[in-house]
Copies of this chain bind each other. A is one copy, B any other.
């Protein structure tokens, strides 16, 4: 029997990854290109998918801010982004009209979360968070089986958390200074230490601050959403020495208040890296496309 084929777009501010297939073991085509103007980049995207005449649907996990609400007039648009040329770009609408297929659209992090839910570290969970710590910091996830969405979409990277004792670093967020993204993104680590994250030794003092801020943020996500698991991805989290330190600090900060085995006894499987690695995003976009073709629950 012929198996349905789905397209996925991981649309980042620096590069786009487009793929076709059915899941982690069934990618039949994949291509990466730089993010330039919307005209050129969406042109490449459309051309890529036109090579596949048998697509059932395409999913997009995009940088934002964007409009993820299917009932909204600007659904499928990248909205107020500071990225030059991309504000008010009808991303999903263009793919839908040029490719003639159903198009699903959400944030890059909600897509990655959905990918991890279908094939990775969040299978079988209804409520969890996927946080990426890289060029920026962002989070998505599911709450009782539904992708996080409300007034707009979460902006988990812009949480305010208490400063670490003795920390004089001002943070790099142009909007908020020392919000989570301002203190823990790759550019923040570099601004603080003078080196890119992957060149910093595990005992560099910058990591002590990194552990502080990420742990505070995780405590806050846990207090607001009560996730069944927290997945930490993105380039900065490739520093795997951060995981045991963050787990220990989260336990300390919660101080036994939330009495569940997941946090008290099994935190190694509560705060985890993504299982799909750097493919969470594009596979998640394919998962978005598949979900759009399934009956609603």
Q: Which residues of A are in contact with B by a Cβ distance under 8 Å?
A: 65, 79-80, 126-128, 139, 143-163, 175-176, 216, 219-228, 253-260, 262-263
In the complex, the answer to whether A226 meets B155 with C-beta atoms within 8 Å is yes
Chain B residues, Cβ within 8 Å of A154: 223-226
A-B contact pairs, 10 of them (CB 8 A): A65-B258, A65-B259, A155-B226, A155-B258, A158-B223, A158-B257, A160-B253, A162-B163, A175-B254, A220-B224
Cross-interface CB contact of A160 among B149, B175, B220, B225, cutoff 8 Å: B220
CB neighbours (8 Å) of A151 from chain B are 127, 222, 226-228, 258, 260, 262-263
Q: Is the pair B148, A146 in contact by a Cβ cutoff of 8 Å?
A: no
With beta carbons under 8 angstroms apart, the residue of B146, B155, B160, B163 that contacts A146 is B146
Using Cβ atoms and an 8 Å threshold, which residues of chain B touch A156?
223-224
Please give the count of copies of this chain that the complex contains.
2
A160–B216 touching, CB < 8 Å? yes
Contact between chains at B175 and A255 (CB < 8 Å)? yes
Residue of chain B at shortest CB distance from A129: B224
- Interface class of chain A by DSSP: loop
Distance to closest chain B CB from A66 (angstroms): 11
Report whether A79 and B143 are in contact in the complex, using a CB–CB cutoff of 8 Å: no
Contacting pair A126 B150 (CB below 8 A) = yes
Min CB gap A41→B, angstroms: 22
Select one of B128, B150, B223, B255 contacting A226, CB under 8 A: B150
User: A160-B162, A162-B160 known; A150 and B227 CB under 8 Å?
Assistant: yes
- Whether A127 pairs with B144 at a CB distance below 8 angstroms is no
Q: Which residues of B are found within 8 Å of A219, using beta-carbon distances?
A: 158-160
A3 to chain B, nearest CB (A): 31
Top 4 nearest A-B pairs (CB, nearest first) are A127-B150, A150-B226, A143-B143, A80-B259
Q: Which residues of B contact A145 (CB under 8 A)?
A: 146
Smallest CB–CB gap between A179 and chain B, Å? Answer: 8
